[in-house]
Homo-oligomer: A and B are copies of this chain.
Amino acid sequence: MIKGIVLVSGGLDSLVTASIAQQECDEIYFLHLNYGQKTERKELESFQKLQKFYKPIDSLIVDISYLKQIGGSSLTDDSIAVKDFTGEIEVPDSYVPFRNAHLVTIATSWAEVIDANRIYIGVVEEDSSGYPDCREEFYESLQKTIDLGTKEETNIRIHIPIVHKNKSEIIKIGFELGAPFEHSWSCYKNNDIACGTCDSCVLRLRAFKKIGIKDPIPYLVNN
């Protein structure tokens, strides 16, 4: 019996990861985290639409807005503006310190309680913007940490099925699996109409353009 917890932000990568998990697992469970990011209202709305679409056995929405309390990122800190895309390869302002460790750690605790044996997280190493907690070697180490820090009989595997894909490949996989792209949200800035100019929008729009498909969500700029 394969029971998978999927981390579902409501973004494109987590959407496609949910479709992959649905294919691979007997049961799926959705975990959504509100960390006080500026676009949480829209992300939560996306999450709820995805719940209706995928019908997970159970869902958990967890408040980790202490990440806003800690600050240090343009995604959570009102005093730091979300920058437009520059193409720079250094760690951007939108990096939320060690965020993905929080997501997987919470999923691990839940997995241990409900006897789930897989955690799916839609991180992307190559085509995402240089966040240190998106790299495969980070997850290998985190896997070992989970093995050592949970009960002997607990067996939880982290799955990162799109870590080495680029955005266009991810979209293609999503289309093949029938993922509802119209319900996803990627913009870092806005809650109603995507800005089209932040890192996340630019990478998404470029990828749709590359494969010649129109992104079904609305943008402020022409795409």
Contact = CB atoms under 8 A, between A and B. Distances in A.
B113 A72 contact: yes
B102 A109 contact: yes
Contacts of A144: 141, 144-145
Q: For chain A, give the interface size range.
A: 35 or more
A98 B138 contact: no
B70 A98 contact: no
Nearest to A142: B145
Interface of A: 60, 62-64, 66-67, 69-72, 91, 95-102, 105-106, 108-110, 112-113, 132-133, 135, 137-138, 141-142, 144-146, 148-152
16 contacts: A70-B109, A70-B113, A72-B112, A97-B110, A97-B112, A97-B113, A98-B105, A98-B109, A98-B112, A98-B146, A98-B150, A101-B108, A105-B105, A132-B152, A137-B148, A138-B149
